[in-house]
Structure 1
């Protein structure tokens, strides 16, 4: 296949590129700072020579977006919004111009689209979508994506949870704080953590590409969400760290200021279930957290 990954130089993009390249696919990356022969320059805002790459592509994957790991002041809020919505709109414009359009377009979204929930398990069908900055970003993102329909382009929005891997994302940071004795619960610890192993993330993307009946929104998360307290306890046990200091909310507020981030990233309860993936026949390699952690810590 010819696969185009927009915004493909981050943690998820690098892993997808490796996964699909090893399976003998042609993978091209749209990036602001191209360095390799398969990387193509784009600014994620305007049509340019990059748009030609979409012609006769089998797959378009859009992962573009400013990291939410920052302070939510007005400038950052605007960049978080525009980087997601503008890139989706300009890709749509490029797709519209294609004579031979991509067969399937997967656009990033987030499991953060669902409300803070410790009890209600959010599936694609019954998930409760709320109204705050993060949820409204996701809603605008998906709205821009699904606004235009083409019979020949199948569209899927990937509502992805926290992805666990060794070469980026949250897991290396969680390991680090646990090793220095700070691996207790964050806040009350009852907030649910929805997660997925990086290998299963890549497998799920391949599964969606291969299964032509899948379109619309899909929760990309393992079927076993756990509480924050259970997550940290399991990690301490695997790392053989006997204790971990708990971090009350007031401490997290101070730490988030110092680390230039937001407490929401730790305290929001994301309780999400991959109903559509499971019903389509997808099999997780790491459906439970113990096996996922064991694999990551072994490698």
Structure 2
């Protein structure tokens, strides 16, 4: 019997994966900080992502484990939040490593969240898994620590894959909704200089890529991004065009920093140039349904 476990699967990405996999697995278990219950045949099991409380038994005989746990980076980088961002990723990964090693029949394949933010700010070079250059700042160091916590424990019976995912664009969650609302209010111009690259992926391609990685038993680091990073100014212009809004007021770096302070987030999320490409997915024959931003916007808005 095929069994899928999604740790921290109640958020936007978890629901994207549940919708995709619900007919492909006989059993789906979501590890959640909420109450244990069963809804529509999906089992929700309480965990605190730090120690064993009984949830670990669910990993026995699982086909696939996907870990999405980690505090959202959409917050102010205060000392307290920085600590939570780091620890929520490290602790959940470490306790899952212990749980996997304790299993008689551990999950065959474990896919752990990571981030395309691991590569340096780049206007000049496309970053792939083979020769992408890792940078050095808070977000990058979190990503490095996260992947280290994942890979340093060897799990002989369980394949391991780190998903270096970019911004996932979806109809019901993620970054797309606030960007769409900004554009509708007339603030859909370039953000900052506008020359920074946006690495993105459509929610359907994200789910299809995860499915593809499982089927092909791909391991190691994989960039889960669309093949076409796009400059922020072009991204916003195409979004305005698809929405049918004639103009967009640009927001300069200074205003972005003030605005992000008031909405309790960080301007870095918009200003960093993520110029990342999915070399390994393409080399293995993965086909994107929404490879261009025009196609993605058409689908998400109509």
Give the equivalent residue in structure 1 for 2:20. 19
Point out the more displaced range, 20-29 or 236-245.
20-29
- Residue 210 in structure 1 maps to residue 215 in structure 2: yes
- Determine the C-alpha separation between the residues in 2 that align with 1:155 and 1:35: 27
- Determine the C-alpha separation between the residues in 2 that align with 1:36 and 1:11: 19
Cα displacement (A) at 1:47: 1.1
Q: 1:133 aligns with which of 126, 135, 138?
A: 138
Cα displacement (A) at 1:25: 3.7
Q: 1:239 aligns with which of 220, 236, 243?
A: 243
- Determine the C-alpha separation between the residues in 1 that align with 2:171 and 2:71: 21
- Determine the C-alpha separation between the residues in 2 that align with 1:94 and 1:19: 26
Distance 1:136 1:116, change over 3 A: same
Task: Specify every segment of 5 or more residues in structure 2 that has no aligned partner in the other structure, as ranges.
Answer: none
When normalised by structure 1's length, the TM-score is: 0.98
Task: Specify every segment of 5 or more residues in structure 1 that has no aligned partner in the other structure, as ranges.
Answer: none
Q: 2:83 aligns with which of 78, 86, 110?
A: 78
When normalised by structure 2's length, the TM-score is: 0.97
Q: Give every structure 1 segment of 4 or more consecutive aligned residues whose post-TM-superposition deviation is greater than 6 Å.
A: none
Instruction: Please list, as runs of the form range in 1=range in 2, the aligned pairs for 1:60-75 lying within 5 A after superposition.
Output: 60-75=65-80
- Determine the C-alpha separation between the residues in 1 that align with 2:291 and 2:184: 25
- Residue 265 in structure 1 maps to residue 269 in structure 2: yes
C-alpha RMSD of the superposition:
0.8
Give the equivalent residue in structure 2 for 1:178. 183
Give the equivalent residue in structure 2 for 1:281. 285
- Residue 225 in structure 1 maps to residue 229 in structure 2: yes
- Determine the C-alpha separation between the residues in 1 that align with 2:165 and 2:102: 29
Count, aligned residues: 297
Deviations 1:62-93 (Å, cap 9, x if unpaired)? 00000000000100000000000000000001
- Determine the C-alpha separation between the residues in 2 that align with 1:140 and 1:76: 16
- Residue 197 in structure 1 maps to residue 198 in structure 2: no
Deviations 1:220-244 (Å, cap 9, x if unpaired)? 0000110000000000000110000
